[in-house]
Amino acid sequence: MNEPKNDSLKIWTPLLFAVILIAGMVIGFKLRDTLRGKRDIETIVLRNDRLEQMIHLINEKYVDSVDVNRIYQDAVTGILSHLDPHTVYIAAEQVENVNEDLGGGFYGIGVEFIVIRDTIQVTSVLPGGPAERANVQVGDQFVKVGDTVVAGKKITSEGIIKLLKGKQYTTVDLWLKQPFREGIRKVQIERDIVPIYSVDVSIMLDANTGYIKINRFSATTHEEFEKALKQLKGAGMEDLVIDLRDNPGGYLDAATLIADELISGKKLLVYTQGKRSFKTEYHAGEQNSFEEGRVAILVDENSASASEILAGAVQDWDRGVILGRRTYGKGLVQEQYNLDDGAALRLTIAKYYTPSGRCIQRTYNKGKTAYADDYLRRFQTGELVGYDTLVVGDTTPYYTANKRVVYSGGGIKPDIYIPYDSAEVSAPLIRMLTSDGLRNQMWDYYLRHRDSLKYRSLNDFILSFNNEEEVIKFYLGTLEADARKTAEALLKYPPNSRFFRGQVKAQFARYFYRNPGYYSVVAENDKAIRRAMELLSGETYLQIIGR
């Protein structure tokens, strides 16, 4: 009668032992990880105590006085020197400014200004912002901010920004003066959100071609881009130029959302992977505002990170044509960790890869100095000024959707190469264009003549403004004899003269019409923009992307 019971026991005994064995293994692994974690924590505490002890001894016993905070920061810098060039420590006093840059805004009064002859002068007032509501006007000069006199005190731009920024809905008193007019007036301004726009401008270049200039990829970039697309499509846009030149990157999500606007289906846009980070893929999805029209993307040696994500996705899917010069080559992903003292560590946790599988991070094996000097090396070898001499760090071929060969290891190489024009932007000419003297004289000329310079529209300005020669003559008259002779010699060369005149006109367009004015004028003589427009309207476009 007990036989069935014994048979049942025989059946279940091996299964029971198996369960016990598996449970023991799981518990063993858990204990191992726990003990290892405990050992790691103990090691970290011991090492931290060692560092604390050393700094304490230096502070208490060293022969001279020392700055303990500086020692801590130097210690952190020493630790990070063994890592990649993009892992950085952000001091507590810098964290707010760094976060604001990509956060899309800050609390202030909403003005742009320049410092001329130790005087803060308002060059632009944010429409609908706090300053406009308080009747601050272009040309206003700051005499006093709160209890601080700022006129004639050699105050820096950083110093005035610190005085103007504050918590939302707090107030600041300003004493203002209009140039060439008597009297000082006081205004009280309630601080509010001041947006930091990442889309500089969206304009129509001609009846069919839209242009969007993105200066960074921030928390608000996709929203700004969507708004710009809607506006341009409403104006008849069929083809699009996206300008990513001098764009250092920013948030990965912002780049993928914009790529999603251009690339159809559920296609892979980018993926990230690191030694301790799982592979994460980002695919196209719901965003689809511009999946049909032709696309040209402008890049240069300063287009980095998120800019390269967008350009790489468009290139790998043969969605558009990339024009310009090889990009920066930053294929590392950072995550920011806040520290207990208010500082932050921006730590590289992964690399990113374009849809074809290429990582475009350039090598930093020769150290941070060599990594930082890459721009100079490229200039010296002639790559930037007329020779398309990309030496790829990885000769493994990768393939776009239409089987075009692309390479990894050195940035995004454009489909159409456009060299840096050293004739038009020679060092002496750039120094003259960026000099305080020229800036001051243009601003003075604008203030003296703004009431007489009247235009019905931006197009009217572009057609009617012909004051460049008068402004240049006004400027040259302020120079010392030797400097004036050098400037006149530079401007005798037709390309220099044409470029200089165009920049003067563009700056006056900015005074009257902000960024849309500036970029509308600049676009007329921008070789990369003109080449993009030619390409979008011809059959070469289809040949390049293999269709």
Tens-digit pLDDT profile for residues 176-228:
999 888 899 999 999 999 999 999 999 999 999 999 999 999 999 999 999 99
Whether residue 190 lies inside any domain: the answer is yes
Are 415 and 436 part of one and the same domain?
A: no
State residue 13's pLDDT score.
Answer: 59
Alpha helices in 317-372 (DSSP H): 368-372
Whether residue 91 lies inside any domain: the answer is no
Number of domains in the chain: 4
CA 21 vs. chain centroid, Å, equals 56
Whether residue 55 lies inside any domain: the answer is yes
Amino acid code (one letter) for 288: N
pLDDT tens, residue by residue, 52-76: 788 888 888 888 988 888 888 888 8
Q: Give residue for tokens 């003066």.
A: 177
Give the residue numbers annotated as catalytic, written as ranges.
305, 316, 330
Do residues 432 and 487 lie in contact, with contact meaning Cβ atoms separated by under 8 Å? Answer: yes
Distance CA 470, CA 25 (A): 86
Are 272 and 298 part of one and the same domain?
A: yes
State residue 45's pLDDT score.
Answer: 44
Containing structural domain, residue 162: 105-195
356 contact partners, CB below 8 Å, separation of at least 6 = 316, 398, 399, 400, 406
The number of residues making up the chain comes to 547
State residue 75's pLDDT score.
Answer: 85
Q: What is the 8-class DSSP label of residue 244?
A: -
State residue 23's pLDDT score.
Answer: 57
In angstroms, how far is the first alpha carbon of the chain from the final one?
A: 82
State pTM to two decimals. Answer: 0.87
State residue 476's pLDDT score.
Answer: 95
Are 223 and 185 part of one and the same domain?
A: no
State residue 260's pLDDT score.
Answer: 97
Distance CA 425, CA 503 (A): 11
Distance CA 516, CA 506 (A): 10
Are 264 and 381 part of one and the same domain?
A: yes
Distance CA 124, CA 121 (A): 9
Are 335 and 266 part of one and the same domain?
A: yes
Strand 185-190 relative to strand 416-417, pairing = unpaired
Whether residue 375 lies inside any domain: the answer is yes
Domain-terminating residue out of 147, 170, 195:
195
Distance CA 339, CA 345 (A): 7
User: Which CATH number does the domain housing residue 141 bear?
Assistant: 2.30.42.10
List, for the chain, all residue ranges whose pLDDT scores fall below the cut of 50: 1-2, 31-42, 44-46
Helix, strand, coil in percent for the chain, rounding step 5: 45, 20, 35
Whether residue 147 lies inside any domain: the answer is yes
Strands (E), 99-184: 105-108, 111-116, 119-125, 141-145, 148-149, 171-177
State residue 385's pLDDT score.
Answer: 79
Are 347 and 363 part of one and the same domain?
A: yes
Whether residue 460 lies inside any domain: the answer is yes
Distance CA 415, CA 405 (A): 11
Burial of 379 (0-12, 13-18, 19+ CB in 10 A): middle
State residue 469's pLDDT score.
Answer: 93
Burial of 221 (0-12, 13-18, 19+ CB in 10 A): buried
State residue 389's pLDDT score.
Answer: 53
